[in-house]
Structure 1
Amino acid sequence: MYTREEASNIKQAFWTAFGQYLSPVTSAEGLKVNWVNYKTGLKNVYFRMQADKRTASIGIELTHPDAGIQELFFEQFKELRNVLHSYLGEEWDWQLHTRDEYGKTISRIGTVMEGVSVFKREDWPQIISFFKPRIIALDEFWSDAKYSFEALK
């Protein structure tokens, strides 16, 4: 069992290592990008990666406080579902109006890898290998798809 500070330090070390590993990789548009804190350019639309003691997950989170507007964004992503899955090479789970860990209503499109722990350094290569192709695929998708969301800004 780790103290809160130890757990925080381990997670910070993982994300630093992940960021350094991906730092030479440029975006689909050839730009330098912060992969750990990816900027979509749209308020309330995030590409999130999370790793904890049992799982690693990656996905698109829609956090607009107005449930109706959140649903509009979700519907726009659904229009692009086949395009998204073609970039990813896999199907993801789609959840409209679920709750995050703070009880806030969000919508999420994502995938989870079970049986890994960010607290086990020996799992880090597996977690990084899970995140890397998916965040790059999300970036490639977003470089084409972001224009579809202009009217929703």
Structure 2
Amino acid sequence: MYSKEQASQLRQAFWTAFGQYMAPVFSAEGLRVNWVNYKTGAKHIYFRMQADNKLASISIEIAHPDTELQELYFEQLETYKNILHDTLGEEWHWQLHDVDEYGKTISRIYKEISPTSIYQQENWPDLISFFKLRIIALDEFWSDVKYAFGVSV
């Protein structure tokens, strides 16, 4: 077991390593991007990468406070489901109106792997591969559909 400080340091070390690994990779539009803190440009739509001592996940998260608008965004993304899955090369889970760890209602489209642990450095290569392929594919997908969500250049 790790202390809170040790766990925090390991998480920070992993995300720093991932960010450095991804730094030379340009976006689908040929731009530099902060892959760890990816900006979709659409309010209330986020790409999230998370890892803990049991699993890792990557997701498109819709966090609009109005659940009806959240559902509309979700349905709008569903119209692009085939494009998303083709770009990713795999199918993801679709979850409308879930509750996150803060008690907030969100909707998400996600992929998980388990068992894995961010706290075991021997798992880092697999975690980096898991996140890298999918965040690049999400960026490629988003570069094609973001305008439907009000993102301007």
Q: Structure 1 length as normaliser, TM-score?
A: 0.97
Shift of 1:120: 0.2
User: How far, CA to CA, are the matches of 2:28 and 2:80 in structure 1?
Assistant: 18
Give the corresponding residue for 1:106: 106
Shift of 1:128: 0.5
Structure 2 residue 61 is the aligned partner of structure 1 residue 83:
no
Give the corresponding residue for 1:5: 5
Give the corresponding residue for 2:19: 19
The SS at the match of 1:131 is: helix
2:55 is aligned with what amino acid? T
* Consecutive aligned runs of 4 or more in structure 1 exceeding 3 Å deviation: none
Shift of 1:6: 1.0
User: How far, CA to CA, are the matches of 1:3 and 1:102 in structure 2?
Assistant: 22
Shift of 1:2: 1.1
1:1-153 to 2 correspondences below 5 Å: 1-150=1-150
Query: Alignment RMSD, CA only?
Result: 0.9
User: How far, CA to CA, are the matches of 2:84 and 2:150 in structure 1?
Assistant: 17
> Paired residues, what number?
151
Shift of 1:71: 0.5
1:47 is aligned with what amino acid? F
Shift of 1:4: 1.0
**CA offset digits 1:121-141 (Å, max 9, x no partner):** 000000001010100000000
**CA offset digits 1:71-114 (Å, max 9, x no partner):** 01000000000000010000000000001111110001001000
1:145 is aligned with what amino acid? V
Q: Structure 2 length as normaliser, TM-score?
A: 0.97
2:148 is aligned with what amino acid? S
User: How far, CA to CA, are the matches of 2:50 and 2:113 in structure 1?
Assistant: 10
Q: Structure 2 regions of 5+ residues with no counterpart?
A: none
**CA offset digits 1:23-54 (Å, max 9, x no partner):** 00000000000000000001110000001001
User: How far, CA to CA, are the matches of 2:6 and 2:53 in structure 1?
Assistant: 13
- What is the aligned-residue identity percentage? 65
